[in-house]
Structure 1
């Protein structure tokens, strides 16, 4: 499969791409936020639900495991008509797959997340309360190793928390390293992740990256991605070191440039981690 390098609608299409590619991230988020075990065997299924009449309703994503079926909706804004259809999606999924059915809503906007969490009055006095994954339920992935082990979660973290002034640089570095790791296996996907992460970052973090790479305009993102993928993790991590130093006000000089030129990728990852935690050049 070849991935388009066009940046999708970051609030809707990209979360679906991430969860299609890594359903385990969905299971992890639901387990950590709500204590509900969905299992580790989720696979994508048809998201179309048909009525007796020809009309059809299509959910954003449906994944199925041995014991569960999960309907996933990504919500960018309040939409009461769409919300009224969620019980239909869930009842149809339950009838089709004959197993426990769960509704999970991804809402990266806090106000939309709060709206989606309200119970939906359904049948005979009952109500359906969606499991809503909003910014509070998405962890801030700050650690490079954690980002590499779960790159889709790291990208989702950047989308949810990239405007966090306190942690934007650390979140951005972790997500960019994860995107580079993915790019070594699938260049198109890596480029897409780079673009989305950079779009999600706060101005200060993005400005630091732009300054360190000395690139301009939209095309810099694809050029950075191609450079990272072509040169491997080390070159991208050297850029991350420069970015962290500029963001934290750490003096940059020729000696430090020479120092990082001799380091391999694992050593650069350790240096990034120390800079993030200590916010000074290590002795």
Structure 2
């Protein structure tokens, strides 16, 4: 189970390496050649000297132009030590593998993205011996994917969008579109992506919305994260959880709820009916459409 946003922000590229080259090509406009094969590599760059150095994710991309080493670093905040370690990583990898190394930094923070994008110059001021220019993926260039059809066209990119923008005003629309798009891929992949998003949602309200949506659709029912959510449900009571989930989803989606409908949901004690209403809350445009003509 992914335990932090740091891990999720780079491990998504281990799950779908092709997303990394699409991000370089489409988001950053880098003319990176189309890979025909990827291979995960050992992230340990430690030499004989007892100084441990590890990159977050390291992939080898085979292209018609030759092999590239894609170095992915997840960065939560500025860290001046990286000004020394990043050039070391690239030099070491080139010397060891004789492949062109490419540094990509991913972050959820705009200020960190601006810091990471600054070129690193080593040597004489104005005439450096070595210059490193990281490629940066962050809130200012990763697209906001809040449309269901757009999310379905590239689910991994929609996941990256949710991971990057999950704390902003667009979060409800992004998460709703992604939840619908996850229905179009296999359940195992969906379960992994659900984890990545859950780990990156620092806003507690957005995270609860995501967990309510995922519990309702049950994409990851056999996953450890689902056990955690079900444990919360057992503690709070299944009926109370069903009431809260239905009303919260409507609220997060911006669907108006009248006092009469709120009272009807809050006084319902039928667990199966509440599950049905929660599923419908994902799609209805009017709160009245939660209920069938016969009242169910």
Specify the alignment match of 2:142 in structure 1.
Answer: 138
- Looking at structure 2, the residues matched to 202 and 78 of structure 1 have their Cα atoms a distance apart, in angstroms, of 24
Query: Which of 19, 26, 39 is 1:25 aligned to?
Result: 19
TM, length-normalised to structure 1 = 0.68
2:185 counterpart of 1:189:
no
Matches within 5 A, 1:1-283: 4=1, 7-10=2-5, 12-36=6-30, 37-40=32-35, 41-51=37-47, 53-66=49-62, 67-122=67-122, 124-165=128-169, 167-179=170-182, 184-185=187-188, 189=192, 192-193=195-196, 195-196=198-199, 199-200=201-202, 203=205, 206=208, 222-223=229-230, 243=249, 247-251=253-257
Contact 2:162 2:197 in 1 (8 A): no
* Deviates most, 119-128 or 201-210: 201-210
> Cα RMSD between the aligned structures?
4.2
Shift of 1:104: 0.8
- Looking at structure 2, the residues matched to 161 and 79 of structure 1 have their Cα atoms a distance apart, in angstroms, of 22
In structure 2, do the counterparts of structure 1 residues 185 and 175 end up closer, same or farther at CA, with 3 Å as the change threshold?
same
Shift of 1:244: 5.3
- Looking at structure 2, the residues matched to 46 and 90 of structure 1 have their Cα atoms a distance apart, in angstroms, of 14
Contact 1:119 1:127 in 2 (8 A): yes
Shift of 1:85: 0.8
- Looking at structure 1, the residues matched to 78 and 173 of structure 2 have their Cα atoms a distance apart, in angstroms, of 31
* Deviates most, 63-72 or 181-190: 181-190
Instruction: Count the aligned residue pairs.
Output: 245
Shift of 1:161: 1.1
Shift of 1:221: 6.8
Shift of 1:157: 1.1
Contact 1:77 1:112 in 2 (8 A): yes
Contact 2:19 2:157 in 1 (8 A): yes
Specify the alignment match of 1:230 in structure 2.
Answer: none
> Unaligned 5+ residue runs, structure 1?
227-238
Shift of 1:184: 2.1
- Looking at structure 2, the residues matched to 21 and 208 of structure 1 have their Cα atoms a distance apart, in angstroms, of 20
Give the secondary-structure state (helix, strand or coil) at the position aligned to 2:198. Answer: helix
Specify the alignment match of 1:234 in structure 2.
Answer: none
Bigger Cα Rg:
2
Shift of 1:20: 0.5
In structure 2, do the counterparts of structure 1 residues 68 and 191 end up closer, same or farther at CA, with 3 Å as the change threshold?
closer
> Unaligned 5+ residue runs, structure 2?
217-224, 234-244, 265-272, 290-296
In structure 2, do the counterparts of structure 1 residues 117 and 94 end up closer, same or farther at CA, with 3 Å as the change threshold?
same
1:127-185 deviation digits (Å, cap 9, x = unpaired): 111111111121112122433443332222112112221x2211011233345656723
TM, length-normalised to structure 2 = 0.65
Specify the alignment match of 1:235 in structure 2.
Answer: none
Contact 2:45 2:54 in 1 (8 A): yes
1:22-76 deviation digits (Å, cap 9, x = unpaired): 1111111111233221533333211222436354421111111122111111111
In structure 2, do the counterparts of structure 1 residues 64 and 184 end up closer, same or farther at CA, with 3 Å as the change threshold?
same
